[in-house]
Amino acid sequence: MGYWAAGGHGWGAVKDSESIAAIRHAFERGVTFFDTADTYGFGKSERILRQALGKNSKSVMVASKGGVRWDESGKVWNDSSPEYLRRAVEASMRRLEIEQIPLCYIHKPDNKTPISDMLGALLKLREEGKIGEIGVSNFTGSQLAEALTVAPVRAVQVQFNILQRAYGEKLAALCSPYNIKLVAWGALADGLLTGKFNRWSTFSKDDHRSHLPDFQGARFVENLRKVEALQKIASECQVTLAQLALRWVMDKYGWTCSLFGAKTAAQVEENLGATGWHLSEEEISAIDKLS
């Protein structure tokens, strides 16, 4: 379960009480991996996750990220320097109220700090017991290859879904030989793959989708055309489009983990309908042809 939305920033109106209820419902239904970041809501997502999980946080895999800074005005910028990564990890530990972050990602490389220094910082934090496994997010293929010469990267987070797949497929090819888990963010394409939008849909200014090319003009219309075709396949499989999209990520490669976002317990329940079944090779081929 990915928890950008719980930060209340970039997804329109979000109620804390519903976020907490959604996380608790996910835990009760067997979700054991919760993904957040310090910059989601500028620390709020981590605090909400701590409040929702309470003592149960010790029995699940909590992943967080560091490397994106912010100031009081809400301005953000990338900083993956060793000094800031240490500050970020220690601040996340306090907000999450845990003695170790089980999986810690470099959120985004700042294109200034050498890869060796970034990964070296996480290795040091791991030696101190402050983090468990090391992950990277939003890395290019060459950056990942270099990172692997420095540290044992265990997870790579990348945007990967039916409609946006080329970049993720390139990284997937690098992950397989090293037994690295590919963690797909945006598996529902920012909601496009839920089937709830049409060409007249609009988004408020505080919703990040109002700025995305995939939700504008001819590109939005073309995406909706593909969604309509995918909806037919979902109906034939007797599942929702969102369930089909999440299942595709998990079935496409055996080393992928599909993140889902949810604002409510009802959305959690629908997304969990992606488990317990598999797409056939023919169905995967049909989906690939459409996308």
Residues with active-site annotation: 40
Separation between Cα atoms, residue 180 and residue 256, nearest integer Å: 9
Please state the three-class secondary structure of 67-124 as a single string. CEEECCCCCEEECCCHHHHHHHHHHHHHHHCCCCEEEEEECCCCCCCCHHHHHHHHHH
The structure tokens listed for 167 are 């970049």
- Residue 45 region by backbone torsions, left for phi larger than 0, else alpha for psi between -120 and 50, else beta: alpha
Separation between Cα atoms, residue 182 and residue 29, nearest integer Å: 23
The structure tokens listed for 43 are 């620390």
Residue 11 makes CB contacts below 8 A (sequence gap 6+) with 4, 5, 207, 208, 261, 263
Question: CA separation (Å) from 93 to 43, 50, 65, 73, 118?
Answer: 11, 10, 11, 24, 19
Sole residue written with tokens 């912010």: 70
